[in-house]
Structure 1
Amino acid sequence: MPEEVDLMFAIGLKPEKAIEYFASKGYAFTWDWHEMLNESHAKAFTVAKAMRLDVLQDIRDTVQKALDEGITLRQFWEELTPKLKAKGWWGKVMGEDGSEIQLGSPRRLRTIYQTNLQTAYMAGTYKALMENVDDRPYWQYIAVMDAATRPSHARLHGKVFRYDDPFWDMFTPPIDWGCRCNIRAYDHEDLMEKNLPVEKSEGNITTEERLVSKKTGVTTTTSVYKDPITGEKAGTGIGWNSNPGAAWQLDVRTYEKALQMPENIRSAFIGEMARAKIHQEMFPSWVDGIIARGKARGFAITAGWMDAEVLDSLHSRGIKPETPVVIINDVKIIHLYRDKKRELGKALGLEEIKKIPSIISDYEAVLWDSLNKDTILYVFSSKDKKGKLVVEINYGLKGEKVNLIKSGGVVLLENLKNDKRYVLIKGKL
């Protein structure tokens, strides 16, 4: 039986936001954990090698109970173990290739318990922190600082950055498996009273490519922060190079909060979000993982935001996006990469697919499709032609209305100009 750990000490009382976050997750089946890296973990509940829905349902329901009722690890283990054993999801089995595979075990249940509760809690915490940034805009990284704390996490303990510093794009806890770190928010008076310096991460964050599977050769990007004074480095774990609170659902919630701002501030805020680098930095490694895997799992990611001018132009035409958030899922990535038009030179290249967030923030023109009124095109240069991303407005996804990139390709400029269905709403062709 695993050691009983009172995780509530680390994550506090059950936060309703954490419960809502976990309950809103969808299901995803993965054989290898690295098939769901970074932001994908914030969008769908998954347990590696849990390929049966009934097994996944049992695990998910028990994790949900841990969130709702605050049960300990021992209670979690005692309730779930008999169910998994009865369904044969326990111990070691032989894989089709003859290799030995570990299914359920005390160690795995402990990892599932700690990872899902801490990730859920920190996503909820992130929402609460963002809702209070006007009063407490300075965030401090807090590690538990005991014998089990990893040196990399201990090096970040006590560091203070503004909430909008790029540091938090990569280093919002949890930053690795079993991470127990947290964030504490301060106002200016708090900083003065505690004599806490505010650091800036600009120029001090780099990335490293690390191997996640010797079998497949798949690699992923991890983030490294170098202390400008001591030179010590702290890095994220494999698969944790993102902020779980910055998934696309939270982008939607952020916009809902922005609706309460005065018009001029809201427009400026939307502009900043439309240029946010977090999407641009995560996107290429996410695409690489999908291409390496060769098949889609139905995961979605934020590709960017429509800017205020595009929104206003659509509103003037009676088209009202419920959010400026633009997403794309791995199904569409596979479609773009395997597009049948590739032999005709009409498909996007892989490097262009990886730059989709940059295209949305730095396009040449946006066209409105007057025939398909809930569709716009982002137009950009593609060698000697023009590239396009086709976005469906108010696409329904998991109870939210977002804007989905549904296709893309390469076209001749004359074709865009001569097609009367397209109306230029921003930029220049």
Structure 2
Amino acid sequence: MADYVQLPPWNKPFNEQLAFFKQKLNLPSERWDDIMHAAHDKAFMVAGAQNADLLADLHAAVSKAIDQGLGLDAFRKDFKALVAKHGWSGWTGEDSKAGVAWRTKVIYQTNMSTSYAAGRWQQLNDPDLLKATPYWRYKHSDSVLTPRPLHVSWDGLTLPHDHAFWTTHFPPNGWGCHCRVTPVNKAEFMQAVTAGRGPANAPALGNTQGIDTGFAYAPGANVDLSLRQVVQDKLITYPPAISKALTYDVNRRINAHEEIPNYVRHAIEDKAIKDPLWLGFVENDAEVSEIVGQDVNGYLVTLPPDTARHVENSHGYDGGDQRPPQPEDFNHLIQVLNDADDLRQGESSRHGQATVVARKSIGGEMFRAVFEVLPGKKNRALALLSFLIKQGKGGG
């Protein structure tokens, strides 16, 4: 790992950086590599931190550091207070002053640098900016005392903004990496090509030599990925509480891989299908927990096959503005729940469980979904009970 003279200008936060960090979900973990690559755009983790309240407070502490431009010393004070508050022990580095200093520096620098990079990614991809400066230049930091040779070799490399190089080499490219990217115009790009710093000099596609494990991705480029997708792509390895739910305890009953529309079609056609489909996680768990009167943190969202058949048989045209949901409409269910326009408690299900009613306007239509809360160690999920669509923005 390289040594450094000074930290980057993280005391000057900007809106895109803070927005990126705040949208992350808190995910428990055992090891630093439980979450990899693009999954970091969706998830906040601190290796070994599995308590939900601890994670939420650590997330808030880093968010505060970004928002207020706080330095490492201020973050260390917050970290120390949170560890004491939650009684967190057994974490790597806690046994010595040097270990604590190292661990807090890693947490601080990694989150600061990746959120900074993600904010820059959004800025650099602004359509108006791309019209003027459609090329990007890799810049190595002069503040590094013991620079990585390959990072130095990329200094000045100038490529089109959509070149495959940036999907893996957009900095930071390792622990403590302070490299950055700047936009340039066509004239500057042509000068770089003439100087031997253009596309012909970029590393071969797929060559990630010189990039630390877990850093071969572009921070901020994957914020639109669904959490379901990053799990399917095996970018998150869950700690026991969740991995068991997805594998041993629940995976025998939950399909986590099939495309949602295909599953709906199969469930309607084949009544022998009994396994529900996993749609994702309850991401607005605090709001849902308050509505239903029980903690749903970490709960899955599932689509039982019986519900797919029920929707097909009972929620078609009603002679008014209601239309039958199509298999592709079920793709919106996780959005309807996690980003609802209106969320409220429903009547108890026939099983006596609490329900939550979610409504969201999508494409000028009102999507309404009812989910049943399934508590317990094995079933922990919000399972879809009913789903209907009103054309126009009506719907009860």
Task: Give your verdict on TM over 0.5.
Answer: yes
TM-score bracket relative to the smaller structure? 0.5 to 0.7
- Counterpart in 2 of 1:240? 215
CA contact (8 A) 2:20 2:220 kept: no
SS in structure 2 of the partner of residue 109 of structure 1: helix
Scaled by the length of structure 2, the TM-score of the pair is 0.56
Shift of 1:333: 12
Change (3 A) 1:38 1:4: closer
8 Å CA contact retained: 1:25, 1:43: yes
Q: Does 1:55 align with 2:50?
A: no
Separation in 2 of the partners of 1:4 and 1:133? 32
User: 2:154 aligns to what SS in structure 1?
Assistant: coil
User: Is the contact between residue 296 and residue 334 of structure 1 (CA under 8 Å) also seen in structure 2?
Assistant: no
Match of 1:109 among 104, 108, 121: 104
Q: Which residue of 2 aligns with 1:335?
A: 255
Q: Which residue does the alignment assign to 1:14?
A: 13
Give distance in 2, aligned partners of 1:192 and 1:333: 57
Q: Residue deviations 1:140-166, cap 9 Å, x none?
A: 111214223322322222211110111
- Equivalent residue of 2:255, what SS? helix
| Backbone CA RMSD of aligned residues | 4.7
What are the equivalent positions in structure 2 for 1:367-386 lying under 5 Å apart?
Answer: 373-376=324-327
Counterpart code for 1:110: K
- Deviation, structure 1 residue 116: 0.4
Aligned residue runs from structure 1 range 2-401, under 5 A: 7-9=7-9, 11=10, 13-90=12-89, 105-131=100-126, 132-145=129-142, 146-192=144-190, 197-200=197-200, 204-206=204-206, 224-225=207-208, 234-249=209-224, 286-287=233-234, 296=243, 335-336=255-256, 373-376=324-327, 391-392=331-332, 395-396=335-336, 398-399=338-339
Task: Report the Cα distance in structure 1 between the residues aligned to 2:41 and 2:252, rounded to whole angstroms.
Answer: 19
Q: CA deviation at 1:40?
A: 1.0
Greater percentage in strand: 1
SS in 2 for 1:124: helix
Look up the SS of the partner of 2:336 in the other structure: strand
Q: CA offset at residue 337 of structure 1?
A: 5.4
Counterparts of 2:257 and 2:106, CA distance in 1: 35
Check the 8 A contact 1:127/1:245 in 2, yes or no: yes
Provide the C-alpha distance between the structure 2 equivalents of 1:284 and 1:373, rounded to a whole number of angstroms: 30
% identical aligned pairs: 23
In the alignment, what sits opposite 2:302? none
Tell me the distance in 2 between the aligned counterparts of 1:373 and 1:200. 54
Following the alignment from structure 2 to structure 1, what is the Cα–Cα distance between the partners of residues 52 and 117?
Answer: 26
Q: Distance in 2 between matches of 1:138 and 1:374?
A: 44
Q: Deviations over 1:91-135 (max 9, x none)?
A: 668xxxxxx9x9x82211100100001111111100000002111
Q: 1:74 to 1:203 in 2, by over 3 A?
A: closer
- For structure 2, the residue ranges without an aligned partner over 5 or more in a row are 275-311, 317-322, 341-359, 364-396
CA distance in 2, matches of 1:332, 1:202: 46
Report the TM-score, using the length of structure 1 for normalisation.
Answer: 0.52
Aligned equivalents of 2:60 and 2:239: distance in 1?
Answer: 32
DSSP-derived class of the 2:141 partner: coil
SS, match of residue 181 in structure 2: strand
Letter of the 2:124 counterpart:
L
1:68 aligned counterpart, secondary structure: helix
Pick closer, same or farther for the CA change 1:238–1:374 going to 2, 3 Å: farther
DSSP 3-state at the match of 1:118: helix
* 2:159 and 2:198 in contact (8 A); partners too: yes
Contact 2:34/2:239, CA 8 A, preserved across alignment: no
For residue 243 of structure 1, report the CA deviation from its aligned partner. 1.5
Q: Distance in 2 between matches of 1:289 and 1:333?
A: 20
Q: Distance in 2 between matches of 1:135 and 1:51?
A: 46
Equivalent residue letter for 1:126: W
**How far does residue 34 in structure 1 lie from its aligned partner after superposition?**
1.4
Distance 1:114 1:187, change over 3 A: same
The residue identity in structure 1 corresponding to 2:184 is: Y
| Residue identity in the other structure for 2:188 | D
**How far apart, in 2, do the equivalents of 1:296 and 1:138 lie?**
42
Give unpaired runs (5+ residues) of structure 1.
Answer: 94-99, 207-223, 226-233, 253-281, 300-329, 348-368, 379-389, 404-429
- Whether the 8 Å CA contact 1:141–1:184 is kept in 2: the answer is yes
Distance 1:4 1:236 in 2: 18
Query: Partners in 1 of 2:252 and 2:175 — Cα distance?
Result: 30
Alignment length (residue pairs): 275
Q: Which residue of 1 aligns with 2:381?
A: none
> How far apart are residue 297 of structure 1 and its match?
9.7
- Judged with a 3 Å threshold, the aligned counterparts in structure 2 of structure 1 residues 160 and 179 are, in CA distance, closer, same or farther, namely same
1:200 offset after TM fit, Å?
Answer: 4.9
